[in-house]
Amino acid sequence: MAREKQPEAAAEAEGTPERSYREQLDFLNPIAQPLASRKLTRKLYKCIRKAAKHKQIRRGVKEVQKFINKGEKGITVLAGDTLPIDVYCHIPIMCEDRSLPYAYVPSKSVRGWGCAAGRNQP
């Protein structure tokens, strides 16, 4: 439990949200399955940061959909708290059809911090 509580300064430096993992689960969409565990979520965020650093990341529904249709390989990380659901509910079906791995993470704000998206940064 010592890992769950972080000082606010350390949380801001890492880019993690102020809400805990359990609090983020309250805002999930009903279709957010398979949801990544706490440990896997951390690993996915770390992987997203590395991919963004090497410019190997695809952001946005339109861009992800285009590269799935082209046959590009990789893992799709979806935010579980995105509204409306209709915007991206077809992406998991496309991934399953092409045998691509995908997972939901609880918060879109942390995912945005990891990939250096402009809207989610201060």
Domain ranges within the chain, ordered by starting residue: 27-105
- Sole residue written with tokens 């979806």: 78
Which CATH superfamily is 27-105 part of? Ribosomal protein L30/S12 (3.30.1330.30)
The reported pTM is 0.71
* pLDDT tens, position by position, 25-46: 878 888 888 999 999 988 998 9
* pLDDT tens, position by position, 60-102: 999 999 999 999 999 999 988 888 889 999 999 999 999 999 9
CA distances 8 to 43, 47, 106, 121, Å, are 21, 23, 20, 16
